[in-house]
């Protein structure tokens, strides 16, 4: 019990101590609580940070892997295109080289063929030369012809002049004006005069008609001559002397129309034409195209009798023997009728033949 | 006895009429008499004589009238106003050949002056009777009728159409085939007058088969006929490619070239015109002419004549050269450029110079080769002087400028360009400097020569607006040379050197 007592004795102490302790504990409790919170927050913070850090780390890993993958993919694409471009550029360059060579060749060969062009120009040059030469020759020839013509013209003119002035020719007694005795040789005209034939009266008076085709009346009358005025009919003059016919009758005779004979009038082929016409008519009037044929059986049994003409012996009696002793006269036979042309002309000419007085 | 007296009066009257009429006709021949005649009232006096009973008097009256009307416009007007034409037309169909000739002559004289008068003649119904006259036996009547028709058709397309509608063309073609030279001549000239207005009219003439006959007569010795024939062919060929080809198909080449050597100037001119009208249509036709040696013939022809006769030849060269560069080269090869240069230098008339300048421009505008050939003929300075000359006509200035521009834009022949540097105005200088700026960067010899000949110095003296094309060209040229050289040749360089001498303080 002692013990109990002993123990009981301890109770107040203990109580005081407890109270003290409790008070102390109560004093420190907020502090300790704060400390505990601090510690816990630190610890929890550490833990969460560690967790987050690990999360970040993992995310980084994921991201870097992904991004790496994507970028590598992209890079590969880029390389591919770059390679492709490189290749294409190369090919293009090569194509240009080929095309340029080909085009150059083609153009030189077929389009702007310098050689052929030069050849062409050379040919043109030659052609020009030839043309120039030919034209030169042509013009020379023309010139010569013209000169020749001119000379001939002059000659003709001089000859005509000589014929006109033929009366100036020198005679045996008197020297002409072209044959001066003071000169050594006579003039050239003198020989011309000697050769020339004088103009006759008709030639002297006919004027040359040089109005051929020219109708330019505006210039002058020389090229255009009006028709000469017909003289008026004579007024009240007596009939001229002499056995002249009436003018009207003469004119009628002069301007009578052409009257050809029947023979001249008809065509030379008229007979043939008439025959053809007849035949044509016959043909058109035919009933049947087949002509009637003779009966061949009719004279089948008759004997053939030759004709008289073919059977006569010519030697025995000549049909053409001439018996001159039977002739009445020695003259030829003459018709008594007037020939037909006479009747044609009857009464149409001046001739009075055949008129009944 | 009394009967004789009576008749004598008439005889005297007739003689007096005849002689007075003939005298008037003769007097009308001289221009100085015409006014007096007019004042004397010759028109009103002649008019009743046209209806005289005696044919000779009628003819002479018509002849006198024709001569008067031929003289001037007023008298022709008087004939129209005096109602003489219907009377003439009426009797044109009736009377004898002499009267027909004289009446056709009056109609021609009236129609000659103006389209108005020609229209008056047409309104009288003259065309039908004239066409009937074309069928006459007498070549003189045909000729005068054809002549009158030609004078009517020459004025304008409507009158021409009227002549064609009257059916004249086939008869004219028949007239060409007649043996009389004078008739052929007039008929050809009438065909030419008809076909010159429009392609339809020309087509009508061609349809009547005229080309073959015309082409046959190219070699006719008569020069006047040749003139008309060639003129007709060229008037036909000028309208369209088809017509030109038809003319060519008549095988006129190379026969027609002989006409370029003719003694007659107008034959030459008309031949050159014909060739020009054919060549201007297509490159193929031009090529055909070139191949036939036509260029050489034309160039010779240009060399052998003077003045207006050259003009069609010059234009022909221009047309041929304008088609393609090969044809232009053919002109150069045929020595056309020196001939044109001579024309440019010698001809006093501006339009011929203008044509030469134009032709040269057409030749030189194709490639540097062409331009070089033109420049070698020493044409550029002359063109420039023509352009700068205040007396030159406006057309010539424009043509010279265009030609210069065309040639300069292709020219790389620097020796020819250098003289132009010194005296060209800025608008030409631009092209000259431009050519230098194109050539110099690639040619070291030329660069050297450019400096020694003083070109660079000249370039530095040019005052160009900054930013202009000219300034750009100058800069390009300056960039081809070291800076010191450029500075050395700049104007005022010696002055700056002297200034530097003045400012220099010697170090002692």
For residue A237, pLDDT beyond 70:
no
On whether any CB of chain A is under 8 Å from the CB of B144, the answer is yes
Q: Which of B222, B252, B227 is nearest to B237 (CA)?
A: B252
**Which pLDDT does position A145 carry in this prediction?**
92
On whether any CB of chain A is under 8 Å from the CB of B295, the answer is yes
The DSSP result for A280-348, as a single string, is: HHHHHH-S-SSPPPP-TTTTTTSPP---HHHHS-TTTS-TT---GGG-S-SSPP---SPPHHHHHHTTT
**Which pLDDT does position A234 carry in this prediction?**
59
Mean pLDDT for A259-267 is 80
Residue with tokens 């059986």: A297
CB contact under 8 A, B14 and A232: yes
End-to-end CA distance of chain B: 150
Q: How far apart are CA B114 and CA B154, in angstroms?
A: 10
Give the three-class secondary structure for B197. Answer: coil
For residue A347, pLDDT beyond 80:
no
Q: For residues B389 and B352, is the Cβ–Cβ distance under 8 A?
A: no
- Note the maximum CA span of chain B: 150
Q: For residues B358 and B399, is the Cβ–Cβ distance under 8 A?
A: yes
**Which pLDDT does position A344 carry in this prediction?**
64
**Which pLDDT does position A222 carry in this prediction?**
39
Chain A: nearest CA to B236, how far in angstroms? 26
CB atoms within 10 A of CB B142: 30
**Which pLDDT does position A319 carry in this prediction?**
62
Cα nearest neighbour of B1 on chain A: A236
CB contact under 8 A, B334 and A124: yes
Choose the closest CB to A135 out of B4, B140, B261.
Answer: B261
Most confident residue range from A224-228, A287-291, B328-332: B328-332
Q: Cα angle at A57 between A53 and A60, to 5 degrees?
A: 135
Cα of B273 vs its chain's centroid, Å: 7
- CB < 8 Å to B290, chain A: 124
Q: Which of B78, B147, B87 is nearest to B117 (CA)?
A: B78
Which one has a higher pLDDT value, A298 or B299? B299
Residue A210, CA distances (Å) to A213, A241, B143 in order: 9, 40, 16
Mean pLDDT for A29-47 is 93
Give the three-class secondary structure for B11. Answer: helix
Cα nearest neighbour of B7 on chain A: A235
Handedness of CA B231, B234, B239, B245 (dihedral sign): positive
Which two tokens mark B123? 């309104």
**Which pLDDT does position A235 carry in this prediction?**
62
Q: How far apart are CA B274 and CA B234, in angstroms?
A: 4
Which two tokens mark B56? 């000779």
- CB < 8 Å to B263, chain A: 142, 146
Q: How far apart are CA A197 and CA A167, in angstroms?
A: 10
**Which pLDDT does position B356 carry in this prediction?**
92
CB contact under 8 A, B296 and A128: yes
pLDDT band (50, 70, 90) for residue A219? low
Q: How far apart are CA B262 and CA B270, in angstroms?
A: 11
| pLDDT tens, position by position, B252-267 | 888 888 888 888 899 9
Which one has a higher pLDDT value, B397 or A305? B397
- CB < 8 Å to B103, chain A: none
Chain A: nearest CA to B83, how far in angstroms? 22
**Which pLDDT does position A214 carry in this prediction?**
46
For residue A230, pLDDT beyond 70:
no
Give the percent of chain A with pLDDT over 90. Answer: 29
For residue B158, pLDDT beyond 80:
yes
Most confident residue range from A170-184, A187-201, B38-52, B319-333: B319-333
Chain B: nearest CA to A235, how far in angstroms? 6
Cα nearest neighbour of A120 on chain B: B330
Backbone dihedral angles phi then psi of residue B125, each to the nearest 5 degrees: 80, 30
Say which DSSP state B59 is in.
H
Residue A226, CA distances (Å) to A31, A107, A221, A275, B102 in order: 168, 76, 9, 56, 10
Q: How far apart are CA A298 and CA B172, in angstroms?
A: 76
Q: For residues A169 and A193, is the Cβ–Cβ distance under 8 A?
A: yes
End-to-end CA distance of chain A: 242
Q: How far apart are CA B296 and CA B330, in angstroms?
A: 10
Q: How far apart are CA A176 and CA A291, in angstroms?
A: 96
Among A279-288, A334-343, B330-339, B483-492, which is the least confidently predicted range? A334-343
Which two tokens mark A229? 């005025």
Q: For residues B169 and B153, is the Cβ–Cβ distance under 8 A?
A: no
**Which pLDDT does position A342 carry in this prediction?**
62
Choose the closest CB to A213 out of B109, B139, B263.
Answer: B139
Mean pLDDT for A20-24 is 87
Give the percent of chain B with pLDDT over 90. Answer: 32
What lies within 8 Å, CB to CB, of A106 at 6+ separation is none
Mean pLDDT for A144-172 is 90
Which two tokens mark B156? 């304008």
**Which pLDDT does position A291 carry in this prediction?**
64
Chain B: nearest CA to A131, how far in angstroms? 6
What is the average pLDDT value for chain A, to the nearest integer?
81
Choose the closest CB to A232 out of B11, B109, B183.
Answer: B11
Q: Which of B57, B24, B11 is nearest to A231 (CA)?
A: B11
| pLDDT tens, position by position, B170-208 | 999 999 998 888 899 999 999 999 999 999 999 999 999
Alpha-helical (H) ranges within A196-289 are 201-205, 247-254, 262-265, 270-285
Which one has a higher pLDDT value, A232 or B311? B311
Q: How far apart are CA A272 and CA A338, in angstroms?
A: 30
Chain B 2-31, CB below 8 Å of chain A: which residues? 3-4, 7-8, 11, 14, 18, 22, 25-26, 29
Most confident residue range from A326-330, B37-41, B356-360: B356-360
Chain B 198-217, CB below 8 Å of chain A: which residues? none
Which two tokens mark B27? 């007097």
- Provide the phi-psi class of B209: left if phi over 0, else alpha when psi is between -120 and 50, else beta: left
For residue A325, pLDDT beyond 70:
yes
- CB < 8 Å to B8, chain A: 235
Cα nearest neighbour of A140 on chain B: B261
Q: How far apart are CA B343 and CA B353, in angstroms?
A: 7
Q: For residues B439 and B446, is the Cβ–Cβ distance under 8 A?
A: yes
What lies within 8 Å, CB to CB, of A261 at 6+ separation is A341, A344
**Which pLDDT does position A293 carry in this prediction?**
63
Cα nearest neighbour of B65 on chain A: A218
CB contact under 8 A, B258 and A138: yes
CB atoms within 10 A of CB B407: 25
Q: How far apart are CA B410 and CA B422, in angstroms?
A: 20
Q: For residues A216 and B147, is the Cβ–Cβ distance under 8 A?
A: no
Q: How far apart are CA A214 and CA A201, in angstroms?
A: 29
Q: How far apart are CA B170 and CA A107, in angstroms?
A: 53
Q: For residues A354 and A346, is the Cβ–Cβ distance under 8 A?
A: yes
Give the percent of chain A with pLDDT over 70. Answer: 76
CB contact under 8 A, A235 and B140: no
Which one has a higher pLDDT value, A70 or B492? A70
Cα nearest neighbour of B144 on chain A: A215
**Which pLDDT does position A351 carry in this prediction?**
66
On whether any CB of chain A is under 8 Å from the CB of B397, the answer is no
The upper half-sphere exposure of residue A301, i.e. CA atoms within 13 Å in the direction of its Cβ, equals 0
Q: Is B132 exposed, middle or buried (0-12, 13-18, 19+ CB in 10 A)?
A: middle
- Estimate the crossing angle of helix B336-346 against helix B294-304, to 10 degrees: 30
Mean pLDDT for A123-130 is 89
For residue A14, pLDDT beyond 70:
yes
- CB < 8 Å to B102, chain A: 217
**Which pLDDT does position A256 carry in this prediction?**
83
Q: Is the peptide bond before B254 cis (omega within 30 degrees of 0)?
A: yes
Mean pLDDT for B46-67 is 85
**Which pLDDT does position A212 carry in this prediction?**
44
CB contact under 8 A, A124 and B8: no
CB contact under 8 A, B263 and A117: no
The DSSP result for A78-118, as a single string, is: HHHHHHHHHHHHHHHHHHHHHHHHHHHHHIIIIIS-HHHHH
Mean pLDDT for B259-277 is 90
The DSSP result for A145-156, as a single string, is: HHHHHHHHHHHH
For residue A224, pLDDT beyond 90:
no
Q: Which of B386, B392, B403, B243 is nearest to B318 (CA)?
A: B403
Chain A 192-251, CB below 8 Å of chain B: which residues? 212-215, 217-221, 226-227, 229, 232, 235-236
**Which pLDDT does position A223 carry in this prediction?**
37
Chain B 250-289, CB below 8 Å of chain A: which residues? 254, 257-258, 260-263
For residue B76, pLDDT beyond 70:
yes
Which one has a higher pLDDT value, A235 or B34? B34
Chain B 57-86, CB below 8 Å of chain A: which residues? 59-60, 63, 66-67, 70
Which one has a higher pLDDT value, A156 or A207? A156
For residue A80, pLDDT beyond 50:
yes
Q: Is B419 exposed, middle or buried (0-12, 13-18, 19+ CB in 10 A)?
A: middle
For residue A94, pLDDT beyond 90:
yes
Cα of B335 vs its chain's centroid, Å: 23
Mean pLDDT for B49-56 is 83
Residue B240, CA distances (Å) to A83, B80, B236 in order: 62, 38, 9
Q: How far apart are CA B69 and CA B80, in angstroms?
A: 9
CB pairs under 8 A between A and B: 107
The DSSP result for A156-189, as a single string, is: HHHHHHHHHTGGGS--SSS--TTS-TTSSS--HH
């Amino acid at each position: 019990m002692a013990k109990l007592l002993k123990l009981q004795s301890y109770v107040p102490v203990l109580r005081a101590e407890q109270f003290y302790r409790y008070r102390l504990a109560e004093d420190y409790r907020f502090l300790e609580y704060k400390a505990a919170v601090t510690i816990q927050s630190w610890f929890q913070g550490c833990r969460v940070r560690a967790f987050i850090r690990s999360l970040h780390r993992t995310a980084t890993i994921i991201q870097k892997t992904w991004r790496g993958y994507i970028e590598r993919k992209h890079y590969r694409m880029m390389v591919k295109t770059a390679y492709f471009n490189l290749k294409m550029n190369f090919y293009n360059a090569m194509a240009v080289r080929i095309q340029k060579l080909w085009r150059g060749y083609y153009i030189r060969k077929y389009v702007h063929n310098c050689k052929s062009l030069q050849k062409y120009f050379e040919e043109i040059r030659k052609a020009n030369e030839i043309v120039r030469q030919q034209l030169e020759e042509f013009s020379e020839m023309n010139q010569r012809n013209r000169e020749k013509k001119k000379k001939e013209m002059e000659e003709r003119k001089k000859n005509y002049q000589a014929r006109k002035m033929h009366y100036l020719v020198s005679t045996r007694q008197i020297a002409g004006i072209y044959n001066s005795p003071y000169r050594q040789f006579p003039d050239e005209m003198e020989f011309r005069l000697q050769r020339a034939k004088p103009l006759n009266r008709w030639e002297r008076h006919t004027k040359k008609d040089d109005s051929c085709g020219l109708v330019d009346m505006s210039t002058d009358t020389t090229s255009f001559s009006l028709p000469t005025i017909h003289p008026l009919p004579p007024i009240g003059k007596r009939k001229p002397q002499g056995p002249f016919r009436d003018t009207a009758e003469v004119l009628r005779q002069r301007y009578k129309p052409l009257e050809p004979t029947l023979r001249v009038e008809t065509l030379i082929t008229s007979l043939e034409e008439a025959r053809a016409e007849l035949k044509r008519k016959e043909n058109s009037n035919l009933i049947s195209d087949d002509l009637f044929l003779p009966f061949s059986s009719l004279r089948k049994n008759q004997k053939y009798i030759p004709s008289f003409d073919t059977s006569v012996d010519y030697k025995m009696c000549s049909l053409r023997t001439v018996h001159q002793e039977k002739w009445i006269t020695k003259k030829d036979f003459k018709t008594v009728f007037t020939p037909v042309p006479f009747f044609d002309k009857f009464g149409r000419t001046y001739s009075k033949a055949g008129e009944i007085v | 006895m009394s009967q004789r007296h009576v008749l004598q009066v008439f005889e005297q009257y007739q003689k007096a009429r005849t002689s007075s009429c003939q005298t008037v006709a003769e007097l009308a021949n001289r221009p100085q008499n015409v006014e007096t005649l007019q004042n004397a009232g010759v028109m009103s006096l002649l008019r009743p004589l046209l209806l005289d009973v005696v044919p000779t008097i009628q003819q002479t009256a018509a002849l006198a009238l024709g001569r008067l009307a031929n003289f001037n416009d007023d008298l022709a007007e008087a004939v129209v106003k005096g109602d003489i034409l219907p009377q003439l037309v009426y009797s044109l169909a009736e009377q004898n050949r002499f009267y027909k000739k004289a009446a056709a002559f009056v109609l021609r004289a009236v129609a000659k002056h103006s389209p108005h008068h020609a229209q008056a003649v047409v309104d009288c119904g003259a065309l039908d009777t004239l066409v009937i006259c074309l069928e006459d036996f007498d070549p003189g009547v045909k000729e005068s009728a054809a002549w009158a028709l030609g004078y009517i058709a020459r004025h304008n397309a409507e009158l021409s159409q009227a002549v064609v509608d009257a059916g004249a063309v086939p008869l004219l073609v028949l007239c060409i085939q007649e043996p009389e030279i004078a008739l052929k001549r007039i008929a050809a000239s009438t065909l030419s007058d008809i076909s010159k207005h429009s392609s339809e009219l020309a087509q009508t003439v061609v349809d009547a088969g005229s080309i073959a006959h015309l082409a046959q007569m190219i070699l006719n010795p008569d020069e006047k006929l040749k003139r008309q024939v060639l003129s007709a062919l060229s008037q036909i060929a000028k309208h369209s490619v088809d017509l030109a080809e038809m003319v060519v198909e008549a095988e006129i080449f190379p026969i027609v070239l002989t006409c370029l050597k003719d003694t007659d100037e107008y034959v030459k001119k008309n031949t050159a015109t014909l060739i020009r009208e054919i060549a201007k249509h297509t490159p193929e036709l031009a090529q055909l002419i070139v191949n036939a040696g036509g260029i050489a013939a034309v160039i010779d022809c240009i060399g052998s004549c003077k003045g207006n006769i050259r003009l069609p030849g010059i234009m022909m060269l221009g047309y041929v050269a304008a088609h393609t560069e090969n044809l232009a080269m053919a002109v150069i090869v045929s020595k056309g450029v020196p001939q044109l240069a001579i024309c440019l230098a010698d001809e006093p008339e501006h339009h011929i110079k203008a044509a030469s300048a134009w032709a040269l421009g057409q030749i030189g505008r194709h490639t540097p080769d062409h331009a070089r050939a033109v420049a070698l003929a020493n044409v550029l300075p002359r063109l420039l002087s023509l352009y700068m000359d205040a007396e030159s006509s406006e057309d010539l200035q424009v043509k010279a400028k265009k030609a210069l521009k065309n040639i300069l834009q292709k020219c790389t022949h620097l020796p020819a360009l250098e003289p132009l540097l010194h005296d060209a105005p800025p608008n030409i200088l631009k092209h000259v400097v431009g050519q230098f700026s194109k050539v110099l960067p690639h040619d070291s010899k030329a660069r050297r020569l450019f400096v020694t000949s003083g070109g660079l110095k000249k370039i530095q003296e040019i005052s160009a607006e900054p930013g202009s094309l000219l300034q750009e060209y100058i800069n390009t040229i300056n960039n081809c040379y070291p800076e010191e050289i450029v500075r050395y040749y700049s104007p005022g360089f010696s002055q700056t050197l002297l200034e530097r001498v003045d400012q220099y303080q010697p170090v002692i």
